[in-house]
């Protein structure tokens, strides 16, 4: 079916932390293959795999040294082919992550650039530049890296002959590509064709609003005190030529049958982000304005309304997310503890009731909270350079309740997971939740199965209108033009439900009312 994604539920698999088949403490492709029945049981339409390609793992795989191979840590290309075939046989599509803004210092093209002379064609694949000062002792401009510290690294700090610096918007292990050079575009065309030819159903584009930098790379007028992604530096993102890249990728995606999905990580205000989903560009971008919300009805309603207005200007279907591997888990963001659990369940019910595509991050279906990973065990480069750790959202999934240690993440007794799994996580384990019909997992399965019944056809999902409102009691209603209403009680007290049949609710109704911190779907009569 074409445009299957317009109404899909896509589940983000973070391979390092999903399931570890070989017992080295790090999840792998075989682990995903073995857990395919679990993925199918979630009623999802697709999975997005974060990077498993060859990488020195400086940024947990977002530093790719060979875009067309599998890192031995995760398996082999043969394993990938098996995974793809297994997923397809379970009715699950597969998206892979492509990282076009930057690569790894171990990419042979970067190694060749370092070995070549300043001014060479090899160096022109990246942003090499002389620094400032008599001896090039200061970086070429004042840009800061998203992970903290200068965005430039001197190639040979001791050399008086080769005094160039290279640009890295993320860690020094992730040099930025020079997209002004047509050879870079050609390289990535070959990369995306490689995966499409292999049979993947789509790609997620990392830092899709990056790639091009402002001409001449002038100093940024402000140097942020707080690291806020690329948002801190408009000169390093959202440059006009980037849209031409996605137009050409869209043409490639449509050469295939069925067409392949392009979803971009575009962390911009909704108005700017929408421009990436014009009819001939990416199909979708994650709605980051929504993904970062706390438990605040006024904001949900206002941001929902804004996203709806904006997406209609470009005619794209909505795509929702509340969690991913970079964001604090909703349970914790929404207040933590039992209250946070309750709200996170409500948020999942709400999300699955909305039209469009829904992205769910592994563990969200279990109601996993953010973990305060012991400092000595933190692995995120953002922690080392910028003092912010994303490790707490990346802790391995607890599969079984009985065993201590990794809770079944690794099959080998005593295997040490790459990030420690909290001892109490047996309570969140899939094994335990499968036995409990009131669990977060049971609710998730119920909601995704019901969603299929209330789903608009993919083709009309873009035209289905969504109207958000909030009343004085914090009752948020997202009303679909096909009649289904998603009601979220975000205030202090229980709320009345609009007339109609209650299809699903995250908590039992009390005297016909929806309790505070709960969500329900109400169908038109």
Q: Residue 434, interface with ligand NOJ (CB under 6 A)?
A: no
Q: Concatenated DSSP letters for 50-102?
A: PP-EE---TTTT-S-SEEEEE-TTT--HHHHHHHHHHHHHTT-EEEEEE--SB
Site string for ligand NOJ, 467-486 (x = CB under 6 A): --------------------
**Orientation of helix 182-198 relative to helix 242-255, angle to 10°:** 30
Complex with ligand NOJ: residue 23 or 229, whichever CB lies closer: 229
Per rule CB under 6 A, count of chain residues that contact ligand NOJ: 9
DSSP, collapsed to helix, strand or coil, labels residue 228 as strand
From the list 490, 278, 55, the residue with the least C-alpha distance to 262 is 278
Complex with ligand NOJ: residue 326 or 455, whichever CB lies closer: 326
| Out of 40, 308, 326, 455, the residue judged to bind ligand NOJ by CB under 6 A | 326
> Can 255 be counted among the known catalytic residues?
yes
| Out of 22, 28, 71, 206, the residue judged to bind ligand NOJ by CB under 6 A | 206
- Minimum CB separation from ligand NOJ for residue 291, in Å? 12
Q: Residue 49, interface with ligand NOJ (CB under 6 A)?
A: no
Contact 307, 289 (CB under 8 A): yes
What are the φ and ψ backbone dihedral angles of 471, each rounded to 5 degrees? -110, -175
Please state, in angstroms and rounded to a whole number, the distance separating the CA atoms of residues 292 and 363. 17
Site string for ligand NOJ, 252-271 (x = CB under 6 A): -------------x------
What are the DSSP E strand ranges found in 326-456? 357-361
- Minimum CB separation from ligand NOJ for residue 152, in Å? 17
Site string for ligand NOJ, 86-105 (x = CB under 6 A): -------------x------
Instruction: Identify the sign of the CA torsion 310, 314, 315, 319.
Output: negative
Contact 263, 182 (CB under 8 A): no
> How far does the chain reach from its first CA to its final CA, in angstroms?
30
> Can 434 be counted among the known catalytic residues?
no
Please state, in angstroms and rounded to a whole number, the distance separating the CA atoms of residues 181 and 124. 7
Complex with ligand NOJ: residue 207 or 348, whichever CB lies closer: 207
Contact 44, 94 (CB under 8 A): no
Question: Token digits for 19?
Answer: 């399931």
Instruction: Please identify which of the residues 137, 219, 244, 255 carries the catalytic annotation.
Output: 255
| Out of 42, 207, 351, 516, the residue judged to bind ligand NOJ by CB under 6 A | 207
Instruction: Please identify which of the residues 22, 59, 176, 206 carries the catalytic annotation.
Output: 206
| Out of 59, 365, 391, 507, the residue judged to bind ligand NOJ by CB under 6 A | 59
| Out of 5, 52, 62, 179, the residue judged to bind ligand NOJ by CB under 6 A | 62
Please state, in angstroms and rounded to a whole number, the distance separating the CA atoms of residues 19 and 14. 9
Complex with ligand NOJ: residue 361 or 521, whichever CB lies closer: 361
Interface with ligand NOJ by CB under 6 A: which residues?
A: 59, 62, 99, 170, 206-207, 265, 325-326
Instruction: Please identify every residue annotated as catalytic.
Output: 206, 255
């Amino acid at each position: 079916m074409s445009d299957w994604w317009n109404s899909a539920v896509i589940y983000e698999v973070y391979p390092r932390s999903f399931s570890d088949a070989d017992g080295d403490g790090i999840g792998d492709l075989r682990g995903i293959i073995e857990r395919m029945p679990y993925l199918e049981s979630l009623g999802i339409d697709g999975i997005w795999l974060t990077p498993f390609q060859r990488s020195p793992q400086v940024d947990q795989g977002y530093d790719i040294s060979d875009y067309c191979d599998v890192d031995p840590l995760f398996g082999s290309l043969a394993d990938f082919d098996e995974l793809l075939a297994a997923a397809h046989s379970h009715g699950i599509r597969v998206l892979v992550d492509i990282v076009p803004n930057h690569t790894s210092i171990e990419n042979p093209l970067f190694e060749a650039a370092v070995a070549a002379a300043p001014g060479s064609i090899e160096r022109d694949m990246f942003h090499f530049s002389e620094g400032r000062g008599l001896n090039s002792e200061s970086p070429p401009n004042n840009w800061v890296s998203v992970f903290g510290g200068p965005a430039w690294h001197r190639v040979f700090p001791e050399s008086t002959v080769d005094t160039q610096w290279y640009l890295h918007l993320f860690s020094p292990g992730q040099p930025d590509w020079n997209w002004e050079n047509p050879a870079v575009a050609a390289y990535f065309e070959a990369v995306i064709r490689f995966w499409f030819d292999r049979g993947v159903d789509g790609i997620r584009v990392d830092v899709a609003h990056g790639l091009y930098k402002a001409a001449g790379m002038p100093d940024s007028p402000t140097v942020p005190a707080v690291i806020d992604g690329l948002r801190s530096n408009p000169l390093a993102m959202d440059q006009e030529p980037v849209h031409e890249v996605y137009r050409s990728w869209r043409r490639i995606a449509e050469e295939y049958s069925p067409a392949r999905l392009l979803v971009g990580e575009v962390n911009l205000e909704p108005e700017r982000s929408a421009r990436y989903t014009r009819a001939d560009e990416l199909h979708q971008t994650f709605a980051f304005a929504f993904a970062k919300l706390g438990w605040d009805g006024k904001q949900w309603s206002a941001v929902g309304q804004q996203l709806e207005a904006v997406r209609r200007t470009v005619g794209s279907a909505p795509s929702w997310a509340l969690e991913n591997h970079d964001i604090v888990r909703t349970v914790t963001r929404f207040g933590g503890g039992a209250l946070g659990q309750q709200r996170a369940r409500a948020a999942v019910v709400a999300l699955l009731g909305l039209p469009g595509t829904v992205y769910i991050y592994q563990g969200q279906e279990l109601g996993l909270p953010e973990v305060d990973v012991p400092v000595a065990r933190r692995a995120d480069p953002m922690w080392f350079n910028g003092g912010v750790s994303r490790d707490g959202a990346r802790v391995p999934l607890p599969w079984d309740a009985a065993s201590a240690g990794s809770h079944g993440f690794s099959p080998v007794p005593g295997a040490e997971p790459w990030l420690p799994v909290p001892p109490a996580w047996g309570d969140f384990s899939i094994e335990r939740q499968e036995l409990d019909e009131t669990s977060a997992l049971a609710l998730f399965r119920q909601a995704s199965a019901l969603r299929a019944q209330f789903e608009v056809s993919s083709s009309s999902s873009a035209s289905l209108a969504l109207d958000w409102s909030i009343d004085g009691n914090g009752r948020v209603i997202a009303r679909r033009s096909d009649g289904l209403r998603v009601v979220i009680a975000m205030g202090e007290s229980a709320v009345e439900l609009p007339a109609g049949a209650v299809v699903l609710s995250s908590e039992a109704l009390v005297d016909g009312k929806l309790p505070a911190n709960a969500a329900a779907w109400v169908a038109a009569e």
